[in-house]
Amino acid sequence: MARTGQKIHITEDDFKTITAMSRAHSADHRSVVRSKIILMLNAGHSYDFIKSELKVGGEAIAKWKKRFIQHGIDGLKDAPRPGKPAIYTEADKARVIQKACSKPEGGYSNWSQRRIAKELGMSQSTVQGILKSHDLKPHKVEYWCGKSTDPEFEQKMLNVVGLYMAPPENAVVLSVDEKTQIQALDRSQPELPLRNGNPKRLTATYKRHGTVSLIAALSVHDGEITANTIDKNNSQNFLKFLKKIYRKYPKKHLHVIADNLNVHKHKDVMEWIGSKKRMTIHFTPTYSSWLNQVEIWFNILTKDVLKGAVWHSKEQLAKQIIQYVDTYNKERAKPFEWTYDGKKKNNSSN
């Protein structure tokens, strides 16, 4: 004879909570099954019916029924497991935190979880758990833009941003800078191509074929790139490049944004610019070259071309960079979208 489930009493609030638990897709499967057992018992279903529907044994049904009658919804949770008490005290945890926040000795710059554990006589997993609970990551370093020491920072910054946001009529705003010392690295063995389950692979050993430097101008309001590869980053090459972009945009007033590198302020450069009615140069504030939008494009170039590539000569590297510039101008060139709304970001959750 089928065993009849004794109907149990559930309050209206508990019924709503248990029903929600039984339908929660993100909940632990065991919690869902336990809540369904209680709901079925509440509906008067037999043990056999519940076993068939939920694929559980009679002992499990009896267990969670008893736990619910004794403790309510809390009874459906796992009971605390017996075991050894925590080995480490709050003082021990404080030692881990203090160690992680201090400067290491012996020539190290940063702590690892393994070295903290070794110095304090703990397991690495214990140290990892303590650091995680306090959101401490001694192995990780982030960079931030320090405050510029330029006494004219605000004036120069507003000037540059103003050119970005509201350029003068019949003008072209050009963000100009150099990316230097790009290494033409070759590998001692052929690269292994990308395959299912394996990324593209390169040998750790390499050969150097020299370096290439790049000077580029981003036309801020249409995204077009003008670029030359150069052997040396000096005032002569910078002036030669300025003359190139001056010829490229006839009948337009050119507003050139550059950082404070000495080659950009060389006497010959400044004299030539001063002799031209259609060119004005604007320098970013000291230590604020991040205001120069061409830096964004250099980051794109690094990801698209330079990272993980192989070249057999620096001439091959230079040729590929210029080929990429041509492709970028034809297929992708567009202004960078301004997304900053002027509000300070809240990093309290990080």
Residue 313: CATH number of its domain? 3.30.420.10
Residue 297 in domain: yes
Split at pLDDT 50, 70, 90, the class of 343 is low
User: Rounded CA gap, 260 and 269, in Å?
Assistant: 13
CA distances to 118, 265, 306 from 210, in Å: 43, 28, 14
Residues 252, 198 share a domain: yes
Phi, psi dihedrals of residue 286, rounded to the nearest 5°: -55, 135
Per the structure block, which two tokens stand in for 122?
Answer: 């703990």
- Does the pLDDT of residue 14 top 90, yes or no? no
Residues 128, 158 share a domain: no
User: Rounded CA gap, 228 and 234, in Å?
Assistant: 13
Residues 71, 97 share a domain: no
Residue 16 in domain: yes
In terms of average pLDDT, the best of 49-58, 110-119, 235-244 is: 235-244
* Percentage of the residues of the chain whose pLDDT score is greater than 70: 85
Residue 85: predicted pLDDT: 56
Residues 301, 216 share a domain: yes
Residues 171, 241 share a domain: yes
- Does the pLDDT of residue 348 top 70, yes or no? no
Per the structure block, which two tokens stand in for 306?
Answer: 């330079």
Residue 2 in domain: no
Residues 173, 234 share a domain: yes
Residue 213: predicted pLDDT: 94
- Does the pLDDT of residue 169 top 60, yes or no? yes
Residue 222 in domain: yes
CA distances to 170, 238, 256, 324 from 278, in Å: 10, 17, 11, 29
* Percentage of the residues of the chain whose pLDDT score is greater than 90: 41
Residues 224, 163 share a domain: yes
Give residue 51's domain range. 12-76
User: Rounded CA gap, 143 and 139, in Å?
Assistant: 14
- Torsion sign across C-alpha atoms 309, 315, 318, 320: negative
Long-range pairs for 14-20 at CB < 8 Å and ≥24 separation? 14/72, 14/73, 15/39, 15/42, 17/73, 18/73, 18/76
The DSSP element (H or E) to which 187 belongs, if any, is strand 171-187
Residues 270, 129 share a domain: no
Residue 323 in domain: yes
Q: In what order do the strands lie in the sheet with 206-219?
A: 225-230, 206-219, 171-187, 253-258, 279-283
User: Rounded CA gap, 298 and 308, in Å?
Assistant: 16
Residues 171, 58 share a domain: no
Residue 206: beta bridge partners?
187
Task: Give the type of residue at 320.
Answer: Q
Residue 147 in domain: no
Residue 349: predicted pLDDT: 40
Residues 61, 94 share a domain: no
Domain count, the chain: 3
Q: What is the pLDDT of residues 313-334, one digit of tens each?
A: 999 999 999 999 999 999 999 9
Residues 324, 178 share a domain: yes
For residues 349 and 12, the model is more confident at 12
Residue 44 in domain: yes
Residues 99, 69 share a domain: no
Residue 212 in domain: yes
